Amino acid sequence: QQPVQSPQAVILREGEDAVINCSSSKALYSVHWYRQKHGEAPVFLMILLKGGEQKGHEKISASFNEKKQQSSLYLTASQLSYSGTYFCGTANNTNAGKSTFGDGTTLTVKP
Residues that bind another protein (CB under 8 A): 29-30, 32, 34, 39-44, 46-47, 49, 87, 89, 91-99, 101-104
Cβ-based nearer residue to another protein, 2 or 77: 2
DSSP character for 26? S
**Distance, CA of 89 to CA of 43 (rounded, Å):** 12
Cβ-based nearer residue to another protein, 16 or 101: 101
Minimum CB separation of residue 32 from another protein in Å reads: 4
Minimum CB separation of residue 15 from another protein in Å reads: 27
CA distances, 66 to each of 34, 51, 70, 72, 80 (Å): 19, 7, 7, 12, 32
Minimum CB separation of residue 57 from another protein in Å reads: 12
CA distances, 109 to each of 5, 10, 93 (Å): 19, 9, 35
Cβ-based nearer residue to another protein, 81 or 95: 95
